[in-house]
A and B are shown apart, each in its own frame.
Chain A
């Protein structure tokens, strides 16, 4: 076997580094510059405008509320699903396949699908109408019904993105050697005790990745809320989009992008701290 060059690893990761530099670091630097530029002058004016805008605090509130409600729901659901599928012997692959279908659907398509269900003349209202619960088209997604609108976005987000957490947790569960659970069983641990004291601690690394990924993506929620609520439920990325596209003000849009970035970074640090993975927990 020829001797391996010490540079080989660097050579191999070079394309991805280059890719990240060109398509992430460079636009990122540009965004920061844009956020701090008003009419060619360095200024914090964009942030002042953003904070004074009528939609900023509602967008902040809605985005955080969505993250706080959606992420725990998704993790709990995904954990349940992952543990259930571990116990299955026949049909496991089919169920796994069906549960991961939403992964392949674009978020806008998911939003539009739920819009078709929940709109005034949608499937949901049709069912309610035939059951005699409502007497005509009933709005669930208008500014007059902020709670049902919020709930609709939560349902659509849970439906759309739980699969991502699920896939990570299934992979994590498969890494845990069966011997631990068997040993615990020998010592008389109940199923709940085994889950709580064996599975869950050993699943920590996967949980951490899943939580970081899901939280960051949840802060970036956009297409689903946009499709279902439009202007009725302002969210941070939606506002960035509006400032960029409709208002044609790249500075304020960049300021919004900066806020989303900061919030995402902060959430990552929080998860890294809260769920410390010790070496002995690595399966």
Chain B
């Protein structure tokens, strides 16, 4: 039962912390549970810098997404609630709706209307209900980072800010021929976010869709191209979780990852790196928008404190500070200061170039999959493993994995999300 213990231990510790916080003497505390900004350094900054000026007393605790869901469900069922505000990525808040774990926050959203949160973000914050269930908190996306030395090896005529996948493959070949090393890297480790590369970047760029086009002829061509590209990718990529380390360690010169997972490299050596959008395929430059939100837990012990905290977190000044500290960008109208640290500025540029690219093709994080989100990710990682690592025939793998994908979509009855065209009922795997 070791696995269970591992899973429960953080929850138990959290429970301890939360119980302390819920004690009578400091009943005005607002317990803020977050799946974001989890590493010790980030959590400490959150407590000491960001939340220092927050209204009332706020206890900031962190947990991984899956235990967070388990804990929220347990608190709701057990009737002893300690957490008032939960901060998590959009896709991590969704499973909470399986047991109706978030209060509607329409009133709060109306009061914060002047903050200028984009309407599409507010719309997806409804989580399929009538009223929003969370207030958008911060956003990010995935970018490419390259060591400046790699730029000399770009294929002739290629613009780093408007690369195609064919050019990226050629770049990788050039690098390998001229340095003898495979210098492109992807975060394919156990906790890396490579699944998002397939879902939000590669598939939309090549097929214009994701679920509907999973086993299309375009997808077949895409995997053949990607397999060819992989020949120039550092084989340690299946162990990389955060690309900032191999970038700093010069194991790779060109990398794709979530902006928060390369920010340390950009911060440490802003002069060494450039940031640019992910490549484009035949259907456009696919990119995935990542939004984290702040929700109020059903039956929150401190609703007033929760609302005050969310109001504070969405103030432009707080949002700018969060951007400067963590590289997550504002969801509200806020001017990033000119004296932003050079590393954060680089990251912001990468995000901006991605969002404003002429051929940008936005996709959302999976919606409506609930706890099946994990198995959804597995379909893409397994497809990759079978085709690229284990050399299985592309068509057969796509057909086999399409069945797994179809089973997930049918079981959850999740309708399509961008870039797949809207569907009535479960999103079909054509």
Contacts and interface: CB of A to CB of B under 8 A. Distances in A.
A248 B3 contact: no
Contacts of A246: 190, 374, 377-378
Interface string A92-131: 0000000000000000000000000000110000000000
A120 B181 CA distance: 13
A220 B5 CA distance: 14
A44 interface: no
Q: Which of A139, A220, A240 has the most CB of B within 10 A?
A: A139
A194 interface: no
Per DSSP, chain B at the interface is helix
Nearest to A220: B2
Contact of A240 (B3, B64, B66, B374): B3
Contacts of B251: 120-121, 137
A253 B3 CA distance: 9
Contacts of B1: 24, 27-28, 31, 257
A121 B235 contact: no
Contact of A231 (B2, B188, B374): B188
Interface stretch (A141-149, A163-171, A175-183): A141-149
Chain B: interface size category? 20 to 34
B52 interface: no
B374 A249 contact: yes
A247 B378 CA distance: 7
Given A237-B2, A240-B3, A257-B3, A54 B386 contact: yes
A144 B385 CA distance: 13
B238 interface: yes
Interface string B359-386: 0000000000001111101100010011
Interface string B379-413: 00010011001100000000000000000000100
A219 B7 CA distance: 20
Given A54-B386, A248-B371, A139 B4 contact: no
A248 B374 contact: yes
B111 interface: no
Contacts of A47: none
Contact of A143 (B64, B374, B386, B389): B389
Which 9 A-B residue pairings sit nearest by Cβ, starting from the closest?
A248-B374, A142-B235, A247-B374, A230-B190, A248-B371, A144-B235, A241-B3, A230-B239, A247-B375
Given A121-B249, A229-B239, 10 more contacts: A28-B1, A142-B236, A142-B239, A230-B238, A231-B385, A232-B239, A244-B7, A245-B374, A248-B374, A257-B1
